Every structure is written in C-alpha cells, then in structure tokens.
Amino acid sequence: MTMLPPISCLTIVPLLGAIAVLMLGAKSKKLARGLALAFAFVALAITLILWFRFNPHSGGLQFEEVYSWIPELGVQYHVGIDGLGLLMLLLSAIVVPMAMAASWQIQGKISLYFSLILMLEAGLFGTFTALNFFHWFLYWELSLIPAFFLIRLWGGPQRATAASQFFLYTMVGSVALLLAFLAIFLCTGKFDFMDLADLAKNGQLVSAFAAISDWHRFTAEKIALILCSGVFLGFAVKVPLVPFHTWLPATYAEAPAGTTMLLTGTMSKMGVYGVLRILLPIFYVQLRVVRTPLLWLAVATIVLSAYAALAQKDLKRIFAYSSINHLGYCMLGIFSILKFTGDDPGLATEKAAALDGVFLQMFNHGLTAATLFWFVALLEKRSGGLRGLDDFGGLRKVIPVFCGLMGIALFSSMGLPGLNGFVGEFLIFKGTFPLAIWPTSVSVLGLLLTAIFILTILQRVFSGPLQERWSHMPDLTVQERLALLPAIGLMFVLGLYPQLVLGVINSTAMQMVQQLRF
Amino acid sequence: MRAPWQLADPNDPGNLTMLAWTIYISFLAVPVLLLLPKTSSRAARVFALLAAAAGFAVTLWGFAQQQSGALVTVARIPWVPSLGFEYHLAADGVSMTLLLLTGIVAISGVLFSWNIEHRTREFFAFYLALIGGVYGVFLSFDLLLLFVFYEIAIIPKYFLIAIWGSTRREYAAMKLALYSFVGSAMVLVGLIAAYVVAGTRTMDLVQLSQFPFPAHFQMWAFPLVFLGFGILAGLWPFHTWAPTGHVAAPTAASMLLAGVVMKLGAYGCLRVAMTLFPRGLDAWGFHVLGFGSWRDVFAVLALIGIVYGAMVALVQRDFKFVIGYSSVSHMGFVLLGLMTLQQVGLDGAVLQMFSHGVLAGLLFAVVGRMVYDRTHTRDLSELERMDLSKALPFAAVTFVLAGMASVGLPGFSGFVAELQVLIGTWRAFPSFAIVAGLGIVIGIAYTWRAMQKAFFGAPSHSASAPTAPLPPISLAERIGAVILLCASVIIGLYPQLLLRVIGPALHSPLFDGLWKGSGR
Amino acid sequence: MITFNYLDLLHLVMPEVIVVIAALCVLSVDLIFLRGAGTRLRISVGAMLSLAGCAAAIVWILRAAQFASVLDGMLVVNPLAQRMQIAVLVLTILTILIFIGSTFTEHISEYLALILLATVSMMFLVTTQNLLVIFLSLELLSLSLYILTAFNKSSARSAEAALKYFLFGGISAAFLLFGFSLLYGLSNSTNLSSVAGSIQRPFLDPLLIVAIVMTMVGLGFKVAAVPFHFWAPDVYQGAPAPSAALIASASKVASFFILYQVMVIGLADAEGSSAWRGYVSGWVPLAAIVASVSMVLGNLVAILQTSVRRLLAYSAVAHAGYMLLGILSHTGQSLSALLYYSITYALTVLGAFGVVALVEGETGGDRLSDFAGLSRRAPLPSLCMLIFLLSLAGIPPLAGFFGKFYLFTTVMTSTPGTLGLLWLVILAVAMSAVSLYYYLKVLKFIYVTDPPTGAAPIRVSILKQVVLGLIALSVVLLGCAPNLLLRWL
C-alpha cells in the first residue's frame, strides 16, 4: 500500500488534470468540465484516504517525504503534514469542486478556466504540504498566477484594476518574503522550515545573523526583527490584515464567483497557514517583542472590517469584508498565544484551545464563505448580474429553498451555536480571553457588528416588500440543491460534532504550544 | 548495454565524437539551403528545422553521454603544425550546458521564424551559419579555433539584422558588428600575446592555462581579454550595442542574440580570460577610488549593469527595448557571478547563462513574433489600447510566465541561477548582494509594467473602429514557446541536471589557476 | 668567379624565356593570322596562347628545383624564388582569365603581350639579389604597367591615371637609383650580401642613412605605402580592371618580396629597432613609421570612399602597412608570414577586381550604389565578393584572417622575451577593426539594399563564374587549411 508517496501524488493529480484539461478540453465544453471535476474528485478521494490513515494521536509530521534535490543550495524535497496541514488539504479539496460547480456556466475559454483552477489547486496542495522554502515558495507563487488570470480574464467590469491590485499587493508581499528568506539562507545556509525552527529553538538563529551585523550598524536582534517583518508582510497581505487589506474587496467583488470562492475559501488560508507553519516557529522570539501591537492590529482588522461591511451595498463586498473579519479572529488567536506563560499548565491549555479554535475557524470560514459566495453567484444568475443590497426584497416568498439554505450559511457565518462557525469562534475567545483580556474584549464588538450586517441582509434581501420584477425568479434547481447539500450538511455536522475535526488537530495544537512554551 | 535514454555513468568519460557534428550539420546546411529552389520557402523552413533539430538531437545525445562534467576530447588533429595550432574540439560540463542551450534556442528560433517569406533561404542560411559558429565556440579548446568560430558568428548577425530587421536596422547591425569586432580585436591581441609570451608553440587552452604567465603580464592581459569578451556579454558601459541590436533584429535573431550570442561573451570571459590569466584577478596592491583589483572593477561594472539595465527598462516605451535592457541586467548577474570567484557563484553564473538564454529567447519571441508581427507596433502606449490578453491569450500567458521566470520566480531556472549568484556575491562582496537584490526588485517592476501595458491595458472605447482580428497564434509558435518554457521549468525544478556537470567542470585542471590564486 | 656557359644560363632562365616566347607568339599570331577576325576569337586565341605560355613556365619550374647564384647575385635561383615565380605566374593567369570578355580595347595582343612582359619582369625581380637587376626589372615592370594603365584609350581617367602613375613612378625611380648608387658607393658592390657586409655598427654612416631613406622611398612607391601612395587611388580607379588587378596583385607580391630582400639581406646589420622604449636607429623604425601611417591613413580614408575601386585602393594602402610589419620583424618566420599574406591578399584583391569588372560591365560604374542589390542579380559573384571583402577585413576562417594572425604573431615573436612591438600589433588590430566598417558598407549595398527597380539578373559567363568561384574557394580553403600554402613558404 505504501508504494506511492501520497502527498506527492496528491499534488501531481491536479497538475496532470490541468494539463489534460488544457489539451483535451479545447474542443468540448462538456469534456473540459467533466474532466476537471473528475480530477478534483480524485484529489478529494486521496485527501480522504489521507484523512483516514492519519494518526490523530501524533502531533508531529506524517507521510513525510524527503529527497535530495539541489544539494548545492541545501534544498531538499521535503513534504509532510500534521493535523493543520491535513485540515487545510481537506478544505482545499472540498472547496475546489464547489468552485467548479459554481463556475459551471462560465463563458469564454472553458478549458483554460478549469485548467487554471486545477493549477491553483495544485498550488494549494503544495503550499500546505511543503516544508522546504524552495518549493513551498514555488507553490505559493504558482497559486498566484492562475488566480491572476482567472480574475483578469473572467472578472467583472473593473477586472483590470482588481487583478492588478491583487497581483501587485501579493507580489510585493511575496518579494518581501523572498528577500527575507534569501537573507536567512545566506546567513544559515538552510531552507528547510523544520531546520530553521530548530535553529530558532536553540537560539542559534539570531547568532547566525550576527555574521552580517559586523558590516552594518544593525545588531543581530534588529536584523532578525527586520527579517521577521519581511516574512510577516508577505503573510499579512495574503490573509489580509488591516492595513494591507485594500486589495481584497475589489478583487473579491470583481472575480468570477468560482474564483472568489477559491480566493476566500482557500487562498486566504495560505496566509494564516504560513503564519502558523513558518512565521511562528521560526520567529516567535521576535514576534513576542511586538506582540501587543500585533494584537491590536488583529483587533483593528476585526472591528474595522466588520464596520466596513456594514457600510457596503454590494453583497459580494459585504462578504469580502466579512472574510477579513473572520480571519482577524484567527490572527487574534495566533498572536495571543505568543504571550510568555512559563510552565503554567492552565494557560498552556488555553493556548491549545485558542489554536484549536484558529484551526477550526480556518476550516469553517473557508467552507462558509465559499458557500456564501456561491449563493451570491446563484442569485446573480437569477437577477441578471444584480447583487446590491437594495436590489432585492421579499425573496423568501419567491425562492424559499434558496433563502432557507442561504440563511443557514449566513447564520453559520454569524456564529450561531449548532452550526460550524460557532465552535471555532468560541474556542478562540475562550483561549484568548485569559491571554489577552483587553484586545479580546474589544474584538467582541466585531461579533456584534457581524450579527448586525448579517441580519440586515436577511431583512433587506429575504424579507420586506417583494419587488415586482423578481416575482418570477426561479428557485434552486434539483442539481443546484444537490450540489449545495454537502456543504450545508457539513456545516451542521461540524457544528454538532466538532470532535470530528478537533480529534485530528488537537495533538498538533498541543505540540505547537509545547514548542512555544518558553 | 545502456538504453539510449539512460544517463551515462558519471565516471565514464564516454565517447563524444558525435558532438562535432553539431558544427558540421549547421555549416553543411548552409550551402544546401542556398541550393534549394528559390520559390519554395516552405522547403527552406522545413530543412532549417530539420538541421536545427538534428543539432539539438546531437547535443541531447552528447549530454546524456557526458555526465562526468570533466573534459572529454571530441576531436583533435593537427591544423597548422608549424605553428602548433590544433583542431581541438572538446566538451566539459560548461560546454555541454551551453551546447544544450544553443540547441534549444536554435530549434525554437526556427519555429518562431516560420513566417519569414522575404528571402527565406538566405535567412536560414545566415541563421544556421551563426548557429554553427556558436556551437564551434562552445566546443573549441584551441584558442585560435575558438577565436575563429567566435568571429564567424559576427557576420551572419550583421546580415540577419540588416536585411530582415526593423527599426534602424542598418545602424544597429553595423553597431553590433563593430562592437563585436572591436571586442574580438582586443581578444586577439591578448591571445597573440599569450601565445608569444608562453613561447611553447601551442594554442591549446589546457596547456596554456597551466603556463605560469608573469604576473605583471596577466595584470594587463586579463582586463584586455575579459573586456573584449565582456563587450559581447553586455558588460556596462559597453552594452549599448545590445538594446539597439536586439530591437532591430528579426525575432529569431534577437532570440539568438540575447539567448546565445551574449553567452559567447560570458563564456569567453570564463573560459579564456579567467583560466589563462587568473592572476589578473589578484589585488593590485594599491587602491584607486576604492578599487583594489580588476575583480573589484568588473564586479562593480556588472553590478551597475544589473541596476542600470533594470532602471532603463523601467522607462522604455518600446516593448522590445524593455526586454533588450532586461538582457543587460540579467547578463550582469552572469558577470557578477563570475567575479565572485566562489564555486556557488560560478555555478550560478553558468546556470544563469542557460536560464537567461532560454527566457530571453522566449521573451523576444513573444514580443517580436507573437505581438509585433501581428500588431505591427511595439509602442507600449499603443499596445495598451488593444487589450491583447483577450486577442492573444496564449501570448499573454506565455509572457507572464516567462516574465515571472526571468525575475526569479521559484520553479523556473532564473531563481536557482540568480540565487546562487547572490549567494556567491554575498560571500565575496556582501554589500553588493543587497544592490543586486534591488536589481531583482526593479526587475519585477519593469516586467510588471510591460506586462500590464502590453497585454492588460484598458481597451479604448473611443477608438472602437472595427479592426481586423489578429491572426491566431500558430502551432509552430506554440511548440516553440512550450519547448523554451519546458526547458526553463525542468532546470528550475531540477537544476541538479546541469549543476551536476557544471560543478566538476569548474574543478577541472583548467581552472586550477583560478582557485589557487592568491587570497582565495 | 665561377665559370659557366650561356647554355646553363639559358637553362636557369628558361621560365622567363618561355613567357617571352609566349608574348611574341601572341603578338605575331594576332598580327599575322587574325587581322580580320572578330574580337571574341582574337581574345580567345591570344588568351589561350598566353595561358599556355604561363602554364608551360609553371610546368618547367615544377619540373626541377634548382639552386644557383650566378653573376654576383644577378640571378639567384632557389626553391623559394621559384615558388614566388609560380605565384606570380598563377596570378597572371588569373588576371588573363579576368581579362577574357573585356571590351575596352581593340589591341588585344598588345595588351596580353604587355601583361606577359610585366610578368617576365616580376619573375626576374624575384630571382635576383643584385641592385642593378632589381632596378632594371622594376623599371621594366613599371613601364609595362604604365602602358597597361593607359590602355583604355576611350577613357580620360585611364590616361590621367597613367600619367600620374608615370610621373610618380619616374620620380621614385630616381630616388631608388640614388639610394642604390649610394649603397654601391658605400660597399663597392651591387650584390645585396656584399652590401650588408660593408655596414658597420654601432654608428650608421650618414650616407647610409640617406641611402636607406632613398631606397625606402623608391620601394615604398611600388608597394603604395603612405606617403608614397598618391598614385594608387587614381590608378586603381582609372586603369582597366585587369590592369588594376595586376597592379594590385602580382606586382604587389613581387614588390614586397624584393623589398624584403633589399631590406633584410642588403641592410642586414642596419635594422635598428622600433620596440617600445627600445628605439635604435636603422631601417626598421623607418618602416614602422611608414607602416603605422599607412595602416591608419589607409583605413580611415577608405571609410570616406564611395567608389569601390578607390576603396580597394585605400584598403591596399592599409594592407601595405600590415605587410610592412612582416618586413620590419625580419625573422625567418616573418618572411613566410609576409608571403602567405601577400599571396592570399593578391588572390583576394584579384577576385574583388573581377567582381568589380563584372558590375562595371553591367552598370557602367563602380560606385557603391551600382552594387545595390547585387546579391539578387548575381548570387554567385555576390557570394564571392562577400568572401573576398571579409577576407580583406580579416574575418575567419578566410585566408585574410590567418594571414593577419600569422603576421601579427611573428611580429610579436620577433623581439623574444619582450613585447616591444606590441604597440604596432595593437595598432594593426585596432585598424583592422575599423576596416570592417567599410567592407561591411560595400556588403550592405550588395546584400541589404534592394536592387533598383526593373534591374534584371546579370548574366555572367560560365568562365567568369568558375574563375571567381575558384578564387573564392581557394581563399576559403587557404584560410581553413593554411598549411596547404605554408609548407611551400
């Protein structure tokens, strides 16, 4: 059974799919779509196999593969997953077919579109499994290019600016990331995240920077801080954190629905994942120095984005800001555990809880936000492109099933107990409260604002007076219902039985906390 | 018995006699092309493609054979016995890398010239003569022979540009030819001096590299020869032939110019200047304006080239000039890598030669063939109004990939190469590495700008006169682009393929003097 | 004094005798049998006879290598001299082949006979080491060439060129004679070796210095070195193409050979040195100055020319500069380099004049614009011209490159242990880089510029094509495999 390295296979499958779709799908729309979906399902199947063969009691890396690659540069092909990685793989594998389903009626070069989505998926898988900077960064950028084209070629009227903004912002972040890692490599000669984390743990990382402090006035600590902020910038843009978020609303609004789902569902997680996998283990000493500003940055993200969402008229923009808001909670959780707690076992538990919450929140938000954007797409299809808050009203009478299902997703996003959104946010707040009282308290404001704008949507779109022009709007078709069912189902399942996921991620969270103990 | 696709045992020197055929095939094709019937340009194309493909096949075969990276003789017969010149062809890892590059660029260059209708036979005849000369340079280990091939490459370049070129073609062609010739004149003086000073009646590179030339002699011979070759490598401030030449040249010629010919210069710097006169890199013992050795001088020039090329590329209005200046910038990395005198820096320099060869070729193909031949303009502000990403999506995707690759996106060859150069620079001249990094960042900026303007500009609705639809990208172009992209990706993902042979080659006896120099 | 009879002497000068007989035959056959015949036939017969004569002479020379030095060096026959004779004869043959088809004159037999007489004088020139015979042969050669230059009676230019040539030639002959007589006075001998034996170092006799300068002036005129080159552009432009070709090729080879003999053998101990910071008075510094001025001036002025013939003339001046380098380095190897250079140069320039004649026949001029689009009108001659001009520019793998390379190498090796003559080599290499510009300019018109509208393809006779092709092939071949020629030198 262990003949094929599962992770490499998982990464290659969508890549092969992308090529196959591009080659074969040029002639026939149906073939292109079917083929792409088939490959996405194969990837999902492999992910599920990984899920079931994963040992949930170990917090370490599993399914590791290490091959020598470019010995001159200390580059190895090193992949592996822990609970977090596995969760992200599963999320990507789920969101991609959803995105494909949402793009079923896309116009233009179908084969290229689906091929790009598969390429994006490969990039995602790679990013979530790679443990050596070299190919991690490769995947990180690989996902950027298809996303750019998806937006640029199939986006809305303002796609040109949106795509440029998206690309430039993330590129600037990437460059910062790359330069920082080059500097790290030049000092340490290592590219492997695990090795670098070990160096950091032993305190050798900073002393390695001392090598370059002799020709500059900077001390090694300062250099470490500069490099840390370079890496941080790369991730902060991707997540995004206020004030690096300005690319996001326009991009989400202009991107075609399927792409927006991918962007919010998976690509934003790349940023959070990067922080957890790379920034935190390597630079926790430096991060700890600036913990308080970072925490308030997270709070600003949460509150401001929720407030901004309140002011929007465009459904897509509302959800875009809500995305920023939800990921803000993740960042809050992450930054809060930087607190030095010594050997206090109680606080360690809280940290683990916060981390669990962060993991869960990543997954949940991915699922919920993607579903919400899907609903917007379905609505747009029925309204002929309209998606303003004021364009509708009383739809619940015309399309009850649609409204019901979308309502569930909205409540999930709001964090209603019983649905998936609640568990993650609850765990985060539970964990962070003892670690960072004031920021947590302020960020609760975000929850409130979220509730307000979600209820506004419910009120303005679903209830109220029905506009005459929508009186013949068709409800969800059977296919659409079937396609949506798994996503809605999953929201319930995770809301009622979070253990399903927690079981997998808990030991990983524990281990991370262990690592950051001192 | 080894299957043909298996790589050779690294310890097996192998028999590379076949490699000489890269030269012969190209040169023999020239008269055959000229004798083809005048009317059939198709026959000329197909034949040129076959010749290029045959050459490429031979290099591939040779590459599979030559896995040790060490120097293997291909052919060695007396040439002018009374003066001790030999017809000495050989190949080591560096040669193999560049031969492979030549093969790749040659074949895709033919594919991108598929639309040449004007004097087709002559075009491909000059083209293949140039290719033959290039192969010859990379294979020669007798200095006179090397020089002969080096010069052979000059003349076809002139005609390719002067006859089939565009903007100010005659001026550019003449400028290019004269710059090259001046450079080679400097080289010639250096070579004659080396021959005479050694007095051993040999032009054999390996033997001469073992000869202990007097230090004061090396001190002036090194810069002379390095500069002579450096001119063709686009060394700042002698680079000015490059942008004008690239811009004026027809697509295939720009591809060859940037892809291969500039490598001739860099190759000469490494293979001749640095092996014959390694002591020329030593410290002078005094300082002038902060420069303590020729090494410092050339490193600074290379660095200026990197940044200057990038900055100038940033403000160009002509699409092709952007790529032209970017070539200067990228070749700066090669020269900077050479001047690091670090194993990793030299590795990187050679790899960068390959990488830039492939990517510059591709970029010029996109600009010259895919865009210019269809739109008949290269003015970025005009292209901006055409929204080419819709009209020519393939070109747009190719350009984005190639552009990203050339600014050093991991996964493509440029990253590994420039990274190694940076590491070498970091070790040799720490502060230069920062500046070179700045060059990369500017590189991203100009690539982005060009891409945005050329492909993703806003279509002007005011001038919505129904223009004729642009002809679609042909199959030949697609194949050519895919070949070049694949080469970059393969090397980007598995640079070991080349590094494995480059490393040992840089430690052959040829480079002894270089590594043993004082203070290294 | 060694005794020998006239039969032996006849035997030694048999090649010359054969050529003279051929010249007489050409004259008499034409006068007696072909008075009323058409031009074509007369050219064919006359050329046949001339070619046969030259060929017979070559065969005679090849038949047996001889060694002899008789009459106080008046006749010195050795393998090298014999090979020089062959070279001169081959170049003459090629000149005659280029002549076939020309229409500029009615007096075919006279023209051919003059060519043959010029050849005879060159043959004597290369087989003597005696001042007297040198002077006599040079005069015979010059007289023939003056007439050959003036042969196009319908062209004022031809006459003007001949007059200039004649005046300059006369003055230079006077200089030469003055120089020679001083040498004779100093050494009491006309034999070059004896002259050398009487020179005393370290301080040169002022008279000897005058003699050296005078000799240099006289011979400098023959090889068209600056500042004695003024006749060259006009003669190259005005003379009928075959005459110009002969002046530029065979006469150049012979003149350089004899210049080498006079300087290296006759003034053996008066070389001096022109090494950087190592100046010693003698004829070498003088030659170095003449050489460098020729290279610089020739190349720079050639850039400005718009007439291809004048361009070739100035390029000839420049090449004379290069070849002087071979003389002033005066080692055994440098003679071989010089001869290789001069022979390949002669071949090349002969071919170039062949193409120029062809174009003139078609367009009536030799301006650059007359060459426009030639590659489309006459592909093979254009290709040949490409080879000739690139060879002149010194582009490998053509003969011109190897010649330059070899020459420069020997110049550098001539001062063992130091790089004293490096400055000359650098100058020469730099100037040859400059020369590429004007050669490429011609090629640009041939290959790049479009032909004038309505220009029909040029019909070139098979013979011309073969001749030009052969010359071009030999230029390529001698460049790729220099040993073919080198082992004879």
The phi and psi torsions of C243 (rounded to 5 degrees) equal -65, -50
**Nearest CB to C390: which of B34, B155, B189?**
B155
Q: How many CA atoms lie within 13 A of B321 on its CB side?
A: 16
Q: Is residue C279 over pLDDT 80? A: no
The ipTM value here is 0.87
Q: Which two tokens stand for residue A347?
A: 């606080």
Q: Is there a contact between B430 and A109 if contact means CB atoms under 8 Å apart?
A: no
Quick check: B352 contacting A, CB < 8 Å? Answer: no
Kindly list the distances between the CA atom of residue B456 and the CA atoms of A152, B389, B396, in Å, as whole numbers in the listed order.
Answer: 8, 6, 8
Q: Is the dihedral of CA B509, B512, B514, B520 positive or negative?
A: positive
pLDDT of residue B4: 45
As for how many domains chain A has, the answer is 1
Q: In whole angstroms, give the CA distance from residue A66 to residue A219.
A: 35
Higher pLDDT, C71 or A454: A454
- The whole-number pLDDT of residue A518 equals 53
- Judge whether B421 and B352 are in contact, CB under 8 Å: yes
Query: By the 8 A CB rule, do B376 and B316 touch?
Result: no
Q: Is B475 exposed, middle or buried (0-12, 13-18, 19+ CB in 10 A)?
A: exposed
| 3-state DSSP assignment of residue A377 | helix
Residue B109 CA to residue B124 CA, distance in Å, equals 10
For residue C1, give every residue at least 6 positions away whose Cβ sits within 8 Å of its Cβ, in sequence order, or none. Answer: none
Name the residue in chain C with its Cα closest to that of B163. Answer: C448
Query: Is the pLDDT assigned to residue A177 strictly greater than 80?
Result: yes
CA distance A279 to A136: 14
Residues in Cβ contact with C5 at an 8 Å cutoff, skipping those fewer than 6 apart: none
Tell me the pLDDT tens digit for each residue of C24-68.
999 999 888 887 778 888 888 889 999 999 999 999 988 877 788
Torsion of CA C96, C98, C101, C103, to 10 degrees: -90
Alpha-carbon gap, residue C301 to C324, rounded angstroms:
19
Q: How far apart are CA B215 and CA C420, in angstroms?
A: 18
For A295-320, write each residue's pLDDT tens digit: 999 999 999 999 998 888 888 889 99
A173, B139, B295 from A184: Cα distances, Å: 17, 39, 27
CB of A71 less than 8 A from some CB of B: yes
| The pLDDT value given to residue B133 | 92
Tokens of C229: 């080159």
Query: In the predicted model, what is the mean pLDDT of residues A154-175?
Result: 82
Q: DSSP characters for A23-34?
A: HHTTT-HHHHHH
Q: How many CA atoms lie within 13 A of A480 on its CB side?
A: 20
How many contacts does B have with C, using Cβ atoms within 8 A?
83
| Identity of the amino acid at B102 | T
Cα–Cα distance, C226 to C224 (Å, whole number): 7
In the predicted structure, residue C271 carries a pLDDT above the cut 80 = no
Query: Which residue type occupies B339?
Result: M
- Report CA torsion sign: B368, B372, B376, B381: negative
Question: Has residue A317 been placed in a domain?
Answer: yes
pTM, entire model: 0.85
CA distance C88 to C123: 7
**How many angstroms from the chain centroid is the CA of residue B512?**
25
Does residue A2 surpass a pLDDT of 70? Answer: no
Q: What confidence tier does C2 reach under pLDDT thresholds 50, 70, 90? A: low
Nearest to B444 among A152, A171, A182 (CB): A171
Q: Which residues contact A237 (CB under 8 A, 6 or more apart)?
A: A169, A170, A172, A173, A244, A247, A271
Does residue A364 surpass a pLDDT of 80? yes
- Residue C23 to residue C15: CA distance in whole angstroms: 12
Residue from B257, B315, B248 nearest B450 by CA: B315
How close, in Å, is residue C429 to chain B by CA atoms? Answer: 6
CA distances (Å), origin C304, targets A17, C274, C308, C314, C363: 66, 31, 11, 10, 22
Q: What does the pLDDT average to over C249-277?
A: 83
Amino acid at B2: R
User: Domain range for residue C364?
Assistant: 272-489
Chains that touch B (3 or more CB pairs under 8 A): A, C
Rg of chain A on CA atoms, in Å: 22
**Apex C362 CA angle, C144 and C314, nearest 5:** 50
Contacts A137 to B, Cβ<8 Å: 410
Please state the rounded mean pLDDT for residues C198-205: 71
Q: What is the DSSP string of B147-188?
A: HHHHHHTHHHHHHHHHHH--TTHHHHHHHHHHHHHHHHHHHH
A164–B494 CB contact, under 8 Å: no
Higher pLDDT, A34 or B410: A34
Whether residue A425 is contained in a domain is answered as yes
User: Do the Cβ atoms of B71 and B510 come closer than 8 Å?
Assistant: yes
Query: Is there a domain that residue A473 lies in?
Result: yes
| Band of pLDDT at residue C323, cut at 50, 70 and 90 | very high
> Are the C-beta atoms of residues C350 and C343 closer than 8 Å to each other?
no
pLDDT tens digits for range C330-378 = 887 888 899 999 999 999 999 999 999 888 888 888 888 888 888 888 8
Q: Nearest Cα to C101, choosing from C149, C51, C153, C43?
A: C43
What is the model's pLDDT at position C341?
92
Q: Do B437 and A135 touch (CB under 8 A)?
A: no
Q: Calculate mean pLDDT across residues C220-228.
A: 86
d(CA B36, CA B100): 28
Report pLDDT for A1: 41
**Residue A339: helix, strand or coil by DSSP?**
coil
pLDDT number for residue A20: 86
* Structure token pair of residue B508: 């052959």
Residue C178: predicted pLDDT: 92
**Is the pLDDT assigned to residue C190 strictly greater than 50?**
yes
User: Which two structure tokens, joined as six digits, stand for B148?
Assistant: 């002969």
Nearest residue in B to C379, CA atom? B34
pLDDT for C196 beyond 90: no
Establish if A484 belongs to a structural domain: yes
Contact C185, C210 (CB under 8 A): no
Å between C317 CA and nearest CA of chain B: 20
CB C250, CB C335: distance < 8 Å: no
Q: Return the number of other C-beta atoms located less than 10 Å from residue A444's C-beta.
A: 14
Please tell me the total count of domains within chain C: 1
- The residue ranges of chain B whose pLDDT is under 50 are 1-5, 462-466, 518-519
Judged by CB atoms closer than 8 Å, whether chains meet at B174 and C425 is answered as no
Percent of chain A topping pLDDT 70:
97
Is residue A372 a part of any domain in this protein? yes
Query: String of b and e for A281-315 (b: at least 16 CB within 10 Å)?
Result: bbbbbbbeebbeebbbbbbbbbbbbbbbbeebebb
Q: Give the pLDDT confidence score for residue B258 in this predicted structure.
A: 87
Show residues of chain B in contact with A71, CB under 8 Å: 496
CA B421 to CA B303: how far, in whole Å? Answer: 12
| Residue A503 domain-assigned (yes or no) | yes
CB contact under 8 A, A167 and B423: no
With 70 as the cut, is the pLDDT of residue C440 above it? yes
Which helix (H) or strand (E) segment is B350 a member of?
Answer: helix B343-364
Tokens of A216: 């500059």
Q: d(Cα A257, Cα A373) in Å, to the nearest integer?
A: 6
Determine how many CB atoms are found less than 10 A away from the CB of residue B236: 22
Percent of the residues in chain A that have a pLDDT greater than 90, as a whole number:
12
If you average pLDDT over every residue of chain A, what do you get? 85
C5 burial level (CB within 10 Å; 0-12, 13-18, 19+):
exposed
pLDDT at B129: 92
A75 in helix, strand or coil? strand
Neighbours, chain C (3 or more CB pairs < 8 A): B
Give B194→chain A minimum CA distance, Å: 35
pLDDT tier for residue A242 given thresholds of 50, 70 and 90 = confident
Q: Cβ–Cβ of B422/A182 closer than 8 Å? A: yes
Q: Where are the beta strands (DSSP E) in B81-233?
A: 85-91
Q: Which of C395, C402, C425 sits opposite B189 (nearest CB)?
A: C425
* Cβ–Cβ under 8 Å, residues C381 and C465: yes
Domain presence at residue A300: yes
Domain hosting A357: range is: 293-518
Best mutation target, B86, B179, B181, to test chain C (most C CBs within 10 A): B181
